[in-house]
Chain A
Amino acid sequence: MFYRESGQFKSSYAKDQAIFPIRQDQIAIVLILAVAFLVVPWFVNDYWSKSVLQPFLVFSIAAIGLNILVGYCGQISLGTGGFMAVGAYASYKIMTSFPDMPIVLVIILSGFCAAGVGILFGLPSLRIKGFYLAVATLASQFFLIWMFNKVPWFHNYTMSQITVPPREFLGVTVTSSSAGPAAQYLFCLGFVVVGAWLAKNLVRGRTGRSWMAIRDMDIAAELIGIRPLQTKLLAFAISSFYIGISGALIFCVYLGTVEASEAFDINQSFLVLFMIIIGGLGSILGSFLGAGFMILMPIVLKNIMVGSFGMAAVTAKHIEISLMGVLIVFFLIVEPHGFARLWQILKEKLRLWPFPY
């Protein structure tokens, strides 16, 4: 009933190829965007912005990036933390070397730096496949973190962590702690919306189809004329671009100060990988759902246990750690293809409701 598409006729190619072909989806997305851009900024406070919305948004970008590589192109990567670090350190170097450069440009350039590094570490993917590739990308994780820790040029010869200087976007400070919660939230949201829109279009176009062809069977893809070199490296580049942007945003906006070995360690790579596995491989929506689950669930659990039930912080933490594990197993048993598939099933059911057959 809710998802009944009957009567929605696609009378032109443009309509048929629309990013959201179903009217209900169009309405929903407009509503979500309207709320996100127009309503939330009025109510968001420091806590919600810093602890809930910003991590959710920046990790959504990272999850989209990794989903392009793992979910769409089928190349397993464990180097996410390293590529994030490239984005973060690139933005720091660019910002301090060219103080007048607009912040948006800085972040996009950082994305390109990460893309370059991604291509470099993507090269082995032409020979190495599957789990072996995961190990090769794992090397990139360790190498990059080691490099940022080791080479003092990357942190401008200070012994300490890198700290973001204040920068403005459209006359409003968005980086450093003098930025307001709404400004930082909107800044991240802008990147997420544009990034997700681009990614969605990429994966349903020619590029995305060639990625999926490589993922499903690379020899067959080669036979029908898809060049594996270009396709795989493009996936690595675009994936790293997104991950680099997310790393730059983590550094510039969300945390404001990072240290490579702590903020971008191997745990981040796993975290983002879990996000896309739980959210749904090969789905942009799944990236958001997975990021939401992995970022928000611990905070929700903590607030319920400590805030509502007055549990000791440490007990709550132990329960939270185990509960997160249980929930992950539970959801994967209920739906091995992740939340995105769960949503798809729900959509089907809503279509038929209340008369399922």
Chain B
Amino acid sequence: MNLKKLALGALAAAVVATPMALSTPASAYEYTIPGLVYRTGPYAPNGIPFANGYADYFKLLNERDGGIGGVKLNVVECETGYNTKVGVECYENLKNEGDSGAMVFSPLSTGITYALIPKATEDEIPIFSMGYGRTSAADGTVFPWVFNFPTTYWSQATAFVKYVGAQEGGMENLKGKKIALVYHNSAYGKEPIKTLEVLAADLGFELMLLPVDHPGQEQKATWLQVRRAKPDWIFMWGWGVMNQVAIKEAASIKYPMDHFIGVWWSGSENDVLPAGDGANGYLAGTFHSPSNSLPVHDQIRDMLYANGNGAGEVDRVGEVLYNRGMLNAMFIAEGIKNAQAIHGTTELRGKHLRDGLEAMDITEARLAELGMGGFTPEVKVTCADHEGGGPVRIQQWNAADQKWEWASDWITPMSDVVRELVMADSAAYAAENNITPVDCN
């Protein structure tokens, strides 16, 4: 009984202590930057480098520039484990954190992004789902609070087809070719299907759909189909362990790796290293450079890691997903800077940052100033276009040197095709949810 009393007492104390724990003491004005990270769970190997890059960049701004406009950035991590329920809990927990409240949410999960879009719109907090989430959020008139620049899945799908067309010696040669899509069987993985179907009808190639169920450790059946059908090209929309397994399987059936293109979530070191030399020549889309020796990387190493202040391990600074987290942070920081200029104050909240994100205009000159020259293409966001129309570039894995190299130039997506699909999908969403589109003129 004593044991029981103790347990019940502890439980009661815990319940009582919780509300007290939810308040934090006030100090100088800070921007609260929520980090919905997943350092645990099935996708942790990908979530960790992203979270580290994200956290490190904000830390660097605090160390190097004293924050943005003199206001420090406070990154508050919340562990989601890639789980929508937990993501919603994190959102509710963090949205009023600190003086500024949450400035912006970058959920790094399609499921959480979908769940947060209506909530954040209601609470006037922007969502910045960089290259993921709901593609039709590119229509800023229906989704004023959601941003998915520099580019989207649908644009990427068209860029892949363009790349394949170029390799085949012209788009007309795509006729009669067979392209397989190996995808994560979820809303995320199904994103490009519609776009590819439209293109298949337009250009006359055959599209073969090969779903892989979460988490994707078992793909023998899928690759048996590939071996039988012998597609000319394979696209992959994968995440986490599914990528490694797919690349290993492709290598084991001797599929030509330079005809196998992964989405930008299937193109990190984690994905290709397990397949060893077999992965040599594997292609992946991206919207930023795989370099780990930009000035900003050196600053991060010198100012953070040299003082034992980095979020991860120093030799993983500059990995693909680390860079992506850093890029995500850079866009947010630029958004805050824009918002400070627009509103003439440093005491910003999430709703002000929205204007800053919408005024995003990253030029090569600005990137060079930030120590990121050539890191990402120029991005210009407008009220109606939240995608920024960004180009996609193909990178190729060099297994001997263990690094990613450029395999193409920046490919401009087929904006006409994508835009049409975006407008149709956003119009359907607006009709279903009684949303009046914002007038951008």
Interface of A toward B, CB cutoff 8 Å = 46-47, 50-51, 55, 96, 149, 158-161, 163, 165-166, 176-178, 255-259, 261-263, 265, 296, 299-301, 303-304, 307-308, 312-314, 316-318, 321, 330-331, 334, 342, 349
Contact = CB atoms under 8 A, between A and B. Distances in A.
B277 to A, nearest CB: 33
A256 B186 contact: no
A163 B114 contact: yes
B441 to A, nearest CB: 26
B433 A163 contact: yes
Contacts of A316: 79
B40 interface: yes
Contacts of A314: 37, 39-40, 77, 79
Interface of B: 1, 3-4, 7, 14-15, 17-18, 20-22, 24, 37, 39-40, 77-79, 81, 83-85, 88-89, 92-93, 95, 110-111, 114-115, 117-119, 121-122, 134, 185-187, 190-191, 193-194, 211, 213-214, 425, 428-429, 432-434
Given A163-B118, A165-B433, A51 B93 contact: yes
Contacts of A256: 115, 118-119
Contacts of B79: 313-314, 316-317
Contacts, number: 127
Q: Is the interface of B mostly helix, strand, loop or mixed?
A: helix
A299 B14 CA distance: 11
A165 B432 CA distance: 6
Contacts of B95: 46
B242 to A, nearest CB: 13
Contacts of B429: 163
B17 A161 contact: no
Given A161-B111, A265-B214, A177 B187 contact: no
Q: At the interface, is chain A mostly helix, strand, loop or mixed?
A: helix
Q: Report which residue of B18, B77, B119 has the largest number of chain A beta carbons within 10 angstroms of its beta carbon.
A: B18
B418 to A, nearest CB: 14
**Among B40, B134, B432, residue most surrounded by chain A Cβ atoms (within 10 Å):** B432
Contacts of A300: 14-15, 18
A277 B115 CA distance: 30
B92 A304 contact: no
Given A308-B20, A317-B39, A317-B40, A261 B118 contact: no
Of B92, B95, B214, the most chain A CB neighbours within 10 A belong to B92
Contacts of A313: 37, 39, 77-79
A304 B37 contact: no
Contact of B121 (A177, A259, A330): A177
Given A166-B433, A255-B115, A334 B7 contact: yes
B92 A47 contact: yes
B200 to A, nearest CB: 15
B119 A255 contact: no
A256 B119 CA distance: 9
A257 B115 contact: yes
Nearest to B77: A313
Contact of A50 (B4, B84, B88, B425): B88
B64 to A, nearest CB: 23
